[in-house]
Amino acid sequence: MLEGVPSLADTIVAPATARGEAAIAIVRLSGSEAPRILQCLAPKLSLPVSHHLRRATLVDAYGKPLDDAMVALMVAPHSYTGEMVVELYLHGSPTIVDATLTSCLAHGARLARPGEFTERAFLNGRMDLAQAEAVADLIHARSEFERHLAKRQLDGELSRKIGDICTWLEGVLAAWRAATDFPEQLPDAGVEPQHEVALEHAALAVAELVAQAHLEVKRGARVVLCGAPNVGKSTLLNAWVGQERVLVDESPGTTRDPIEVELYDGAVRWSLWDTAGIHGAATGVEARGVEMSRARIRSADVAIWLIEPKRPVWPDAEVVGPNLWVLGSRADLADPPTRTALALEAAKRGLAFLGWVSVRAGLGIAESRAAIVQRLAPKVPEGAIVVVRERHLQALKEAAAQLQETQQLLQQGGTLDLCTLALEASTRSLGRILGRDVDGAVLDRIFSDFCLGK
C-alpha cells in the first residue's frame, strides 16, 4: 500500500461531537479493528452485544484509568458506515477526548479525514451520493425549510426519482443495444412507440427537477440595501438585525465597504449587504465605494433601493431591473399624502414598492422585513422535490440536453447507434447524481466539506 494514501482497510477514529466542554463527548471508530481496539480500551468488558449500550471503565494508552463511559458496538453491516463501528460516550471534556483518541491511535486506529465516515457509508453502499450530500446539508441546515429538504433527500426522495428515470432510460437502452447487437435475430426491432413515450416521460421528469431547483436555499438569497447617501440604509440594517452592526452618521458617505450580515426568517436564509450610497459626484475612495455598490447590486438576488421623502432619489437605469424593489425610508419626515404620492410615482416608474419604514418612529421595521422575506420565500408546490445543490442541477441540465439530443436524432432518423450513444450519455449524467462513475477528485471535494467525525 502507498504511504500516506488513506485506505479503506484502516480503522478510523474521530470525535463525533463538537470540541468543547459538554455533558458528553462521543468518539467514534469504524473498521474491522474497532472491536479489538474497544477491548484494549476497556479490558474488563466482554464484547458487547451489537447495538446495546454498556458501561465500561476505559484506560488510556498506558493502561491508566481514563474515564467511566458508555460504549456501544454496531456489528457490520448494520452500522452507519457498513463496517464495525464502536461509539464511546465519554464525559464531555476535551482532555478526555484527546486521551481517548491517543489511546485509539496507539492501538492501531488512524485519525479520520473530514467526512470519511460518510464516505465509507457511500463506498459500502449504505447510501448513494445524493443521500451522503444530504447528511452534510442536514448538519449545515440553518432554517427549518433547509432541514426539511435535507431530511427528505436523506430519506432517498431525490434518489428514487433519479433511479426511476434511469430505469426507464435503461429499459430503452437495453432494447436498442439488443437491436444493434443482434440485428439478424431481431429483424424488426428498433425504436418502438413506447420508447419514445419513455423518453418523453424522462425528459419531463428531468425538466420538472430543473424547474424546482432552489440553490439559494443553501447559500441564502443575497439582498443588497442601496440608494443615495444618507437615506437610512445603515440605520435600517441595524434595526432589522437588532444590534448596531454598522456605523450610522448624519454626514453622508459613512459606509464605504459593503458589509454583510446573515439573517434567518423561518424558511428563508438571506444575507443582507449594506452598501455605500450611490451618487454621481463621488470621487476618490468614495467613488470606488460607489462602484462596489453597483457591483453588489449586479450580483445580488434582490436589491432594495431606499428612497427618503425629503429628497427622493430614484434608481438610475443601470440598476433598475426586475430584482430591484423600492422601500420608502425615514417615513416620519413626510405626511401621508406625500408618502402616497411617492408610492404612486414608484408605480408609474414601473418599480415594485414595498411600503414605508421609519426606524426613528419605530414604524414598519418588522413589516418591511416580513415583506421582503415573503417575496424571497421559495415558491415550492407541496411535495415537490427541490434540488439545492449546484452539482445536481448541473448534471440534470446535462441530462436534459442529452435527452433532447436523443429525441432530435430519433426524429431526424438518426441511426440507432447514435441514438444509443446520446441516451447513454444522459443516463450517465443522471447516474452521477447518485455517485455512479464519479471520480475520486469529485468525491474528495464533496466529502472534504463535511465536519470531522461525520
Ligand X SMILES: Nc1nc2c(ncn2[C@@H]2O[C@H](COP(=O)(O)OP(=O)(O)O)[C@@H](O)[C@H]2O)c(=O)[nH]1
CA 242 to each of CA 235, 381, 415: distance values in angstroms, whole numbers, following the listed order: 10, 33, 66
Beta bridge partners of 273: 224, 260
Q: How far is the CB of 130 from ligand X (least distance, A)?
A: 43
Please report, as residue ranges, which positions from 323 to 362 form the binding site for Mg ion (by CB under 5 A).
none
Percentages helix, strand, coil for the chain, rounded to the nearest 5?
45, 20, 40
Q: Where are the alpha helices (DSSP H) in 185-229?
A: 193-211, 216-219
Residue with cell 430614484: 314
By beta-carbon proximity to ligand X, the closer residue of 82 and 289 is: 289
In 10 A of CB 101, how many CB atoms? 17
Please pick, from the candidates 30, 100, 234, 420, the single residue that binds Mg ion as defined by CB under 5 A: 234
Q: How far is the CB of 330 from ligand X (least distance, A)?
A: 4
By beta-carbon proximity to ligand X, the closer residue of 366 and 442 is: 366
Q: How far is the CB of 238 from Mg ion (least distance, A)?
A: 10
State CA 365 to chain mean position distance.
29
- 368 touches Mg ion (CB under 5 A): no
- What distance, in Å, lies between the first and last C-alpha atoms of the chain? 25
What count of Cα atoms within 13 Å lies in the side-chain half-sphere of residue 184?
0
By beta-carbon proximity to Mg ion, the closer residue of 120 and 233 is: 233
Q: How far is the CB of 226 from Mg ion (least distance, A)?
A: 10
Q: Which does 205 bind (CB under 5 to 8 A by kind): ligand X, Mg ion, none?
A: none
What count of Cα atoms within 13 Å lies in the side-chain half-sphere of residue 177?
10
Q: What is the 3-state secondary structure (H, E, C) of 46-113?
A: CCCCCCCCEEEEEECCCCCEEEEEEEEEECCCCCCCCCCEEEEEEEECHHHHHHHHHHHHHCCCEECC
Please pick, from the candidates 131, 153, 238, 255, the single residue that binds Mg ion as defined by CB under 5 A: 255
Residue with cell 484502516: 10
Which residues of this chain interact with ligand X, rule CB under 6 A?
A: 229-235, 248-250, 254-255, 277, 330, 332-333, 358-360
Closest to 221 (Cα-Cα) out of 275, 273, 270, 272 = 270
Distance CA 239, CA 248 (A): 11
Set of cell numbers at residue 150: 435535507
Q: How far is the CB of 221 from ligand X (least distance, A)?
A: 21
Q: Which does 229 bind (CB under 5 to 8 A by kind): ligand X, Mg ion, none?
A: ligand X
By beta-carbon proximity to ligand X, the closer residue of 131 and 358 is: 358
By beta-carbon proximity to ligand X, the closer residue of 35 and 229 is: 229
Residue with cell 456489528: 75
By beta-carbon proximity to Mg ion, the closer residue of 310 and 445 is: 310
Scanning 64-72, 186-194, 205-213, 247-255 for contacts with Mg ion by CB under 5 A, the matching segment is 247-255
Distance CA 351, CA 319 (A): 11
Q: How far is the CB of 328 from ligand X (least distance, A)?
A: 10
By beta-carbon proximity to Mg ion, the closer residue of 132 and 224 is: 224
Look at the chain and count its residues: 454
- 238 touches Mg ion (CB under 5 A): no
By beta-carbon proximity to ligand X, the closer residue of 294 and 330 is: 330
- 11 touches Mg ion (CB under 5 A): no
By beta-carbon proximity to Mg ion, the closer residue of 234 and 426 is: 234
Q: Which does 360 bind (CB under 5 to 8 A by kind): ligand X, Mg ion, none?
A: ligand X
- Burial of residue 221 (number of CB atoms within 10 Å: 0-12, 13-18, 19+): buried
Scanning 9-17, 154-162, 233-241, 443-451 for contacts with Mg ion by CB under 5 A, the matching segment is 233-241
Q: Which does 342 bind (CB under 5 to 8 A by kind): Mg ion, ligand X, none?
A: none
Q: Which does 250 bind (CB under 5 to 8 A by kind): ligand X, Mg ion, none?
A: ligand X
Q: How far is the CB of 279 from ligand X (least distance, A)?
A: 11
Binding site for Mg ion (CB under 5 A): 233-234, 254-255
